[in-house]
Amino acid sequence: MTDPRSPDPARLSLNTATIRKQWGLGEAIAGCARHGIRAIAPWRDQLQALGVSEAVSRIRDQGLRVSSLCRGGFFTADDALNLDDNRLAVDEAAAIGAECLVLVVGGLVEGTRDLADARRRVADGIAALGDHARAQAVRLAIEPLHPMYAADRGCINTLRQALDLCERLGPDVGVAIDTYHVWWDPELEVQIARAGAAGRILAYHVCDWLQPTEDLLADRGMPGDGVIELRRLRGMVEAAGYDGCCEIEIFSEKNWWRRDPDEVLRVCVERYASAV
C-alpha cells in the first residue's frame, strides 16, 4: 500500500491521557483551542473532576468535537459486571456528546486463572449494557488490548476476537482501534477491512511502540518515535471507510508527562501531520 495523503487537520483529536499528569480537563479544552485542535477525547476521572455540565459548556464554547469518552468496561471487576459504573459512563458519554464510549473490558477475575470465564463475563457485561447504551444513543467501542494486558486490563486481545464478539452482540457495538495494541497482528489489514465493511470502526487511537519499551503501561511513544508504520495503518483504516477522528493517546511517565503540556500539544500537531 502506498502512503495516503497527509491527514485532515480537523480530525486530530487530543486524548486527554496524553497530558493527564499536567492538566485537568478544563486546561486541556483551552489547550486544544490554543493549538487549533478541533476534537477531544476526555477520560472519565478528569470529566468528573471538572463536572459534567461545566465540561459540556466549555466544550461547546470552543466548538470541539468529542471523539470518544474513555472509558467504561472492567466487567470482570465484580460479580455485578461493574454495571452501575458502566451505566454512569454511558450517561456521561451521552451528556458530552461523545461519538462512542471506549470499553477496556477487564482481565482475569482476581485470584483466578480462568481466561475463558473472564471472556464470557465480558460478553455478558457488554450485552447487559446494550439496552442502556441504545436508549442513550451511545455506541460502545470495544478496544482490543495488546495481549500483555490480558491478565489485568483486557482479555479481548485481537481485532478478530473483538469483531467476533461484536457480531454476537449486534449492530450498535464496534471497536476502538489503537495502533499500540494491534500493530503486531498479522491479520491486521484483513480485520480492519472486516471492521470497516461492517461499519464498526468507532475510534482510532494513535501512539508509537518504542523499542525498547521500558514499562508495560506508561512508556508509549509520540508518533514517529517508534517502530509502527503509522501512515500505513491509517491508510488501512481509511481504506476501510473510517472517516472519524484520529486520537493521539500517549501514556508516558518518563517523557511526555514530564514536559510542558503546551510543548506536548505542539509536537502532537506536528507529528500528526508528518508521522500519522
Could you list the residues that contact Zn ion (CB under 5 A)?
Answer: 178, 205, 249
Beta carbon of residue 179, minimum distance to Zn ion (angstroms, whole number) = 9
Residue number, 92 or 247, with CB nearest to Zn ion:
247
| Residue 21 C-beta: closest distance to Zn ion, Å | 17
State which residue, 109 or 201, has the beta carbon closest to Zn ion.
Answer: 201
Q: Which is closer to Zn ion, CB of 38 or CB of 220?
A: 220
- Complex with Zn ion: residue 54 or 147, whichever CB lies closer: 147
CB atoms near residue 39 (< 10 Å): 22
**58 versus 99: smaller Cβ distance to Zn ion:** 99
84 vs 132: CA distance, rounded Å? 11
- Mark out the alpha helices in the chain (DSSP H runs): 25-35, 44-50, 52-62, 83-95, 115-135, 159-169, 179-182, 188-197, 230-239, 261-275
Shortest Cβ distance from residue 87 to Zn ion (Å)?
22
Distance CA 196, CA 132 (A): 25
Cell 457485561 maps to which residue?
A: 125
The C-alpha atoms of residue 253 and residue 135 are separated, in whole angstroms, by 38
**In 3D, which of 186, 114, 189 has the Cα closest to residue 155?**
114
Least Å distance between CB 143 and Zn ion?
6
In sequence order, the β-bridge partners of residue 102 are 70, 141
- Find the shortest distance in angstroms from Cβ 141 to Zn ion: 10
